[in-house]
Amino acid sequence: MIARAARFIIGGGVIVYPTETVYGLGANALDEQAIMRVYQIKKRPLDRPIFLAVSNFDMLEKVADVSRQDMELLRQILPGPVSVLVHKRSIVPDILTAGSPMVGIRYPDHETALRIIDLAGPITSTSANRTGSNPPTSAETVSPEIRDRVDLVVEGGKCLYGQPSTLLDLEKREIIRPGAGLDLAMRAIG
C-alpha cells in the first residue's frame, strides 16, 4: 500500500493518507498540476495556501530556507504535531503558497506518512476534507465527496490527536493557529 501510494503521487495523483493529527490529501508538492487537483478536490480558494510535508530534515532544507539557529529549534519539536511557517526556496511552486514567499511545513510523526513521503518526496499537507468541513480522523470518516475524487485512501488507523496541527510562525516566534502540539510549540519558543 505504501509503494502504491507513492507511485500515485509520483505519477501526478492525489491520495488520502494518515498522520498523527488528521488524515491529509497528498500530492507531489512540487508539481503545479497535482497541487491544482488538490485545490479542486478540497474546493479551496487559490488564495489560501497549502502546506507541504517532509520526512526528514534534509528534505526540509531542500524546500525551505532555515537558519542554523531555527534548525536547532525545529529539531526540538519535529517530527510532531506542529507546522512551521518558514521562507520557501524557489523549488516550491507559487501556487502551493498562494504567491507568498513563506511555506507551511509539516514533518509528521506517523510511520505510514513518513514512509510515503520518503518514497514520493515532499507532498502536500492539507486535511482531507472540503474547505470548511471537519477533517477526518480515520479512513472511515473520509467523506464520499473526497474519497470518490482521489486515487487511493491509505488506511492508517485512528489519528492520535484528532485535530489539526499547531501552526508556528518561526520567524516571528508566534502561534498563528493553535491545535495539536500547542504545548510543544509554546515550550520551543519560550
Q: In sequence order, what DSSP letters do the residues of 87-109 get, joined into one string?
A: EEPTTS-HHHHTT-SEEEEE---
- 100 confidence band (pLDDT: 50, 70, 90): very high
- 184 confidence band (pLDDT: 50, 70, 90): very high
- Percentage of the chain beyond pLDDT 90 is 97
CATH code of the region 2-189: 3.90.870.10
Per-chain mean pLDDT for the chain = 97
- 183 confidence band (pLDDT: 50, 70, 90): very high
Which whole number is the average pLDDT over 40-56? Answer: 98
Residue 103: its H or E element: strand 102-106
Q: So what's the pLDDT on residue 188?
A: 86
pLDDT (tens digit per residue) in 144-179: 999 999 999 999 999 999 999 999 999 999 999 999
pLDDT (tens digit per residue) in 54-91: 999 999 999 999 999 999 999 999 999 999 999 999 99
Distance CA 96, CA 91 (A): 11
- Percentage of the chain beyond pLDDT 70 is 100
Helix (H/G/I), strand (E/B), else coil: 69:
helix
CA angle centred on 79, ends 57 and 24, rounded to 5° = 105
Distance CA 138, CA 156 (A): 7
**Which positions ≥6 away from 45 have C-beta within 8 Å?**
39, 131
Distance CA 121, CA 58 (A): 11
Q: So what's the pLDDT on residue 20?
A: 98
User: Any idea where the domains of the chain sit in the sequence?
Assistant: 2-189
Which whole number is the average pLDDT over 110-119? Answer: 98
Q: Which three cell numbers stand for residue 46?
A: 487559490
**Which positions ≥6 away from 88 have C-beta within 8 Å?**
63, 64, 65, 97, 100, 101, 102, 103
- 189 confidence band (pLDDT: 50, 70, 90): confident
HSE at residue 70, side-chain half, CA atoms within 13 A, is: 16
